[in-house]
Structure 1
Amino acid sequence: MASPEELMHAAGLLLLRVVQSGDADALHRAIELLTVARQGAAADPSLQAKLLSNLGSAVLLRFRRTGVAADLDEAVGHLRDAARLAPAGLPERALLLGNLAAALSERFDRRGTADDLHDAVAAGREAVRMARAAGQDPSTLLSNLGLVLQSRYELAGSTADIDEAVTVGREAVAVAPADHPELPRMLNTLCKSLRLRFWLTGDGADMDAAVAAGRRAVELAPGAHPDRPKLLNNLGLALRGRFERIPDRPGDLDEAIQASRQALGMSRPGHPDHANALSSLGTALRIRCEGSDDPADLDEAILLTRQAARGVTAGHPYTAVYLWQLGSALILRFEVTGDMRDLDEALDAWTRAARMAQAPASTRLRTARHAATAAARAHGPAAAAGLYEASIGVLDLLTWRGISRDDQLRLVRDEAGSLATEAASAAVGNGDLAQTVRFLEQGRAVLWSQLLDTRTDLTRLASAAPELARRLRECRTGLDGAPDG
């Protein structure tokens, strides 16, 4: 009978075939071999850790192809056990931590649990540090770290997170061998990081670089490559973003729609990639309709974004984004047809998004404000009062203590004053002067609480003792997130 080491080697060859061709039978056989090998290595912690990590990675690959939630939990469990069992001097320890970070990140994407994301960032940074110290190739680990940093940026809005994501993403692509099997995915991650930073800074060079990275990723993943739907979708997002910056380049939008259609045609219903493709294509069609008034584009956009919102699991953090896009398409059609049913459905979509606790605070705030505007338009100023109350209540959530002081102030400055003014205007229209004053005071209170709250500012400490500041920030974040009682 083959030894555990021989079984692990054979499984590794099968997994390489899976990455290159998506061979489902090879993946099934690799998981079987690793399960048998693990049973024969119980007395060797180092070998057991390697086998558990490989098994977790294989199950994670299966999750990426099937979307079965139990596979994701199983993968995280195996990878946590691998990191726990690995001796301190094990050369593969960096890889084990990197695999854990990737799985935690995917579970966050699926469920929106912030603790998974913070754990993924910590594991990813430690994996990169260990790989560099050991003189190992850090390219995959760097790219995976960029992926979790961009996710945390989307959740909390930290400029430092998205800057670091771009930096490590560029380094990953630069140091990876030209024939690295993960290079398309690395380019895809870099493409998204650059695209996200463009929307923060408006730097057109970032969006041009994002399009270039997205195109190269697609070129390196032809035919039936398992990641091709995701790569096509991300390229479509980058092209659409560049069109929104430079509207006189209609070719970008047409190419974006073509890429999104291809991605949708290759994705499987029920998988998160399918909902992303539905949403991306629907939004691109809505944008094209804004310039052409083609009702067919708009009708299809509404159909697709409805399907996207219904096609994700309950509580998924991306649901709020899909509902935002659905409401935007419905409002556009209402402007054309005057059909109050579209206005009411848009109001319902935005209201549901605003109430989703798992969604990023910025998305909740945006949808609540638009819901309030739609409610006032459909049913009068009185109908908007509760939604404006909810909007102002979300302001505090923008200023997560794990982001920098400058980011906290930027987020509140951009939202607090204008939101309070909108809310007060609606209250005036409703003839409620007491509510008008209350809205203005609430907005001012949020702004001043951030201006005066110097207790939590670690900027000076970070300059003098960065490691101590990092540890204190992690401790404080953990305490802030601890359940009551």
Structure 2
Amino acid sequence: MTGSRLITQFQESGRIKDVHDAITYLVDALALPPSGPEGPIEDEDEMMVILAATVSILGDAYKLRFEALDRNEDLDEAIDSCAKALTFCPTDDPRRSSFMEDLAQVFQIRFERKGQLEDIDEAIDLLREALTLSTMGDDEEALRSLASSLNWLGDVLILRFGALSELVDLDEAITNYAKALAFCTSDDPKRLSFLHDLVQAHVSRFRKAGKTRDIDEVIGLLREALVLPSTRHGHGAINSRLSALDQLGDAFMLRFHQLSLIEDVDSAVETYTNALALCPETGPLRLAVLDNLLGALLARFRKADRIEDIDKAIDLQRQGLTLMSDEEEDTELEALASHVCS
């Protein structure tokens, strides 16, 4: 049985012996001269192609065993094997970008596990280079693949931003997320996820640099999210719509706190109210949205001195208290008193 078949068998059954056997088979195969149906292969280019494919499969096997057994040595072996596959792969081989992505993935996994910055640097460099080798086809599948690769590079840049807090990584992540979105059709099921990634990156940059244009972008993106099919129809649409509304309310409040425009807090109140209408009658989600709406009403009361806002805030607080424990009630009442007096 070949190494590939043993790997497939492991993925289907979860029997760890299959992946052990696959690794043993592939290691033994690599110790022998490459051969084909007609005997040993003499052509060097053909030999490199076979070696690249075999060692790439070995890298997959080590990664699978790492995921199953959580052994660091398997992750190191996966990186070593994927790097060798890339070394053996001819520069004009159409699989080269795929081998780069395989190696980037295991570097990313090791960074997330150990936090070694050189691993995330390697992953970013590999994904950048893989994108330069990507050909933009006209078919929908090629565009979706390109969008996913761009979004992945954005994700990895966000990981490095989280480690180093360097704005240049956040800027590049936003650029790649925006490109991914541009290649993603409106009915693509991934579009909402891509929108979410871009929204979070803009929010992070706003918090880092304080530029209003980032919140303007967030508001535009979340408004788009609310008209996507995935937030209007089908399984999970209510939760997706509720999440987008709550985030949109947050964005209006961020801009209100920066620019102090009454229309932003008005929009926040309206948006949180719409989100609340979608919430279950009980539970922490309803309590969180209630709290957000309460905060927006109190902010508008302080800005415009509308007594109806404080009346509504008190009514919401009463609703919230029915969802809380006694200890939480005391804390919330103290918070409300503090808000009103401030």
Matches within 5 A, 1:187-202: 187-188=59-60, 191=63
Partner of 2:78: 213
In structure 2, the CA distance between the partners of 1:338 and 1:419, relative to structure 1 (3 Å rule), is same
SS in structure 1 at match of 2:158: helix
State whether structure 2 residue 119 is matched by structure 1 residue 252.
yes
SS in structure 1 at match of 2:136: coil
Q: Structure with the greater relative contact order (CA < 8 A, sep ≥ 6): 1 or 2?
A: 1
- Partner of residue 263 from structure 1, selected from 127, 130, 143: 130
Partner of 2:23: 174
Deviations, residues 222-250 of structure 1 (Å, cap 9, x unaligned): 23443332332243244334434444x21
Q: Is this contact kept in 2: 1:347–1:371, CA < 8 A? A: yes
Matches within 5 A, 1:72-111: none
Q: Give, as a single letter, the amino acid of the residue that structure 1 aligns with 2:119.
A: D
Deviations, residues 278-328 of structure 1 (Å, cap 9, x unaligned): 222222223333444433332222111100111133322332332222122
In structure 2, the CA distance between the partners of 1:138 and 1:188, relative to structure 1 (3 Å rule), is closer
Partner of 2:209: 337
User: Counterparts of 2:171 and 2:323 in 1: how far apart (Å)?
Assistant: 40
State whether structure 2 residue 180 is matched by structure 1 residue 308.
yes
Counting aligned pairs with the same residue, the percent is 21
Matches within 5 A, 1:21-420: 139-140=4-5, 142-143=7-8, 146=11, 170=19, 173-174=22-23, 177=26, 178=29, 181=53, 184=56, 187-188=59-60, 191=63, 205=70, 209-210=74-75, 212-221=77-86, 222-223=89-90, 224-247=92-115, 249-270=116-137, 271=142, 272-350=144-222, 352-353=224-225, 355=228, 357=230, 364=240, 368=244, 370-378=247-255, 379-380=264-265, 381-385=268-272, 388-389=275-276, 392=279, 418-420=284-286
- Partner of residue 423 from structure 1, selected from 267, 289, 297: 289
User: Counterparts of 2:186 and 2:195 in 1: how far apart (Å)?
Assistant: 13
In the superposition, the TM-score normalised over structure 2's length comes to 0.58
SS in structure 1 at match of 2:230: coil
In structure 2, the CA distance between the partners of 1:435 and 1:172, relative to structure 1 (3 Å rule), is farther
User: Which has the greater radius of gyration?
Assistant: 2
Gaps of 5+ in 2: 31-49, 256-263, 298-311, 325-342
Q: Is this contact kept in 1: 2:161–2:167, CA < 8 A? A: yes
Partner of 1:160: none
Q: CA deviation at 1:383?
A: 4.5
* Cα RMSD for the two superposed structures: 4.6
In structure 2, the CA distance between the partners of 1:291 and 1:214, relative to structure 1 (3 Å rule), is closer
In structure 2, the CA distance between the partners of 1:439 and 1:279, relative to structure 1 (3 Å rule), is farther
User: Counterparts of 1:288 and 1:176 in 2: how far apart (Å)?
Assistant: 37
Q: Is this contact kept in 2: 1:253–1:284, CA < 8 A? A: yes
User: Counterparts of 1:263 and 1:255 in 2: how far apart (Å)?
Assistant: 12
Q: Is this contact kept in 1: 2:85–2:99, CA < 8 A? A: no
Q: CA deviation at 1:185?
A: 5.3
User: Counterparts of 1:273 and 1:347 in 2: how far apart (Å)?
Assistant: 27
Q: Give, as a single letter, the amino acid of the residue that structure 2 aligns with 1:420.
A: R
SS in structure 1 at match of 2:94: coil
Deviations, residues 132-180 of structure 1 (Å, cap 9, x unaligned): xxxx65834853984xx8xxxxxxxxxxxxxx67959836843764468
In structure 2, the CA distance between the partners of 1:209 and 1:372, relative to structure 1 (3 Å rule), is farther
In structure 2, the CA distance between the partners of 1:309 and 1:168, relative to structure 1 (3 Å rule), is farther
User: Counterparts of 1:351 and 1:268 in 2: how far apart (Å)?
Assistant: 32
Q: Is this contact kept in 2: 1:323–1:349, CA < 8 A? A: yes
Partner of 1:464: none
SS in structure 1 at match of 2:156: helix
In the superposition, the TM-score normalised over structure 1's length comes to 0.43
Q: Is this contact kept in 1: 2:75–2:110, CA < 8 A? A: no
User: Counterparts of 1:210 and 1:366 in 2: how far apart (Å)?
Assistant: 39
SS in structure 2 at match of 1:427: helix
SS in structure 1 at match of 2:188: coil
In structure 2, the CA distance between the partners of 1:182 and 1:344, relative to structure 1 (3 Å rule), is farther
In structure 2, the CA distance between the partners of 1:268 and 1:210, relative to structure 1 (3 Å rule), is farther
In structure 2, the CA distance between the partners of 1:190 and 1:348, relative to structure 1 (3 Å rule), is farther
In structure 2, the CA distance between the partners of 1:138 and 1:219, relative to structure 1 (3 Å rule), is closer
